[in-house]
Amino acid sequence: MSTSQRFDRGHTDDLMSFLAASPSPYHAVANAAERLEKAGFRQVAETDAWDGTSGGKYVLRGGAIVAWYVPEGAAPHTPFRIVGAHTDSPNLRVKPLPDTGAHGWRQIAVEIYGGPLMNSWLDRDLGLAGRLTLRDGSTRLVNVDRPLLRVPQLAIHLDRTVSTEGLKLDKQRHLQPVWGLGDDVRDGDLISFLEQEAGLPAGGTAGWDLMTHSVEPPAYLGRDRELVAGPRMDNLLSVHAATAALAAVATADGAASLPYIPVLAAFDHEENGSQSDTGADGPLLGTVLERSVFARGGSFEDRARAFAGTVCVSSDTGHAVHPNYAERHDPTHHPRAGGGPILKVNVNNRYATDGSGRAVWAAACEKAGVPFQSFVSNNSMPCGTTIGPITAARHGIRTVDIGVAILSMHSARELCSADDPFLLARALTAFLEG
């Protein structure tokens, strides 16, 4: 039996819709919040006093969301079960002075965000999305989800060395997209255009956080539709799975008697170090957890007890063994697409997993009936990292690094098994249930 016949594809269909509707971290958290609202969660403002009532609640801050469900009668020292993820992906982001051009081409000035596979952004139809900040401090999401921009590659006739020496791109000179013709470049053109797209009055925008995205929709791929190709799987695949898991746990028959407080923490800025007020290295998660303890009448002692019993699963995509580059992987650890979630291990703490964390994850997968695989990096290659070590060190919380194995990580379009997202969500649900 092929993997394409093994599982219902409803979860993966929904993932593809989520990816398409979330071209920026701000759209991703808005879509996650909408799904949680349908499951009975309500937004709480950080500037308001919080109460200790039971039920689902969430906080939105920029491109980050922290959501949690308090069971009925939960004691102040009740531990948390946290799924951590991130909402940002490598891409091209608009500079403060975006309007530029040369030689009869109108262009947009962009800056490189994170570590994208830059060649994957060439000759691809790009949209533009993000948020506009108005003069009164409010924000408005904007999404031009149609071919608007393009980074044209140099013809081979003008650079024959591409065939012999490979493609070489200068980040400053070679990645500025075009979006029109003419020599009449005028400051304010792009923002004026986006104000019209968003239905805003002209001249009302004071700031912006804008980024490019491929407008090609996610799609099943392969003879048996066993694969999914799409954008921003790193790491909206995990955000979607964690949101689905939290909603499932909060609406299950036994939600009122959960032994833990299940939490979703989806941060921004993982791809450039997590050091921001919405990143994992900021105080957002710790503040929310502490306020939840104190709102239920807890003391610092209760807070310490709750954190001591808390476990966090840091869910991020990882590397499936590449059939064309198998030598780049550890020779005894070859995670396969379709083989279930991966447990990430690195003894130098690039991942936070240790033996006790492995036991927690193994128990969750066993409960869910989900297989899992182990991943370590080839010793001769540098290992990436996640929000896992940051969460463990900043909050003193036992943390386990896991994820889904994909190919083409950091490309404008990535590739995974069509079944692994569902397997991840099922395992995360079991983990949050405790």
What's the pLDDT tens digit per position in 143-152?
A: 999 999 999 9
SS3 annotation, 373-391? EEECCCCCCCCCCCCHHHH
Confidence of residue 163 (pLDDT cuts 50, 70, 90): confident
Give me the mean pLDDT over the 368-375 stretch.
96
CB neighbour burial string for 346-380, b if at least 16 within 10 angstroms, e if fewer: beeebbbbeeebbebbeebbeebebebbebbbeee
- pLDDT at residue 184, rounded to an integer: 85
- pLDDT at residue 6, rounded to an integer: 59
Both tokens of 171, joined, read 């980040």
* Contact assessment for residue 352 and residue 388, using Cβ atoms and an 8 Å cutoff: yes
pLDDT tens digits for range 106-143? 999 999 999 999 999 999 999 999 999 999 999 999 99
pTM of the model: 0.96
pLDDT tens digits for range 416-425? 999 999 999 9
- pLDDT at residue 353, rounded to an integer: 97
Residue 393 confidence (pLDDT) above 70: yes
The residue with tokens 């491929």 is 214
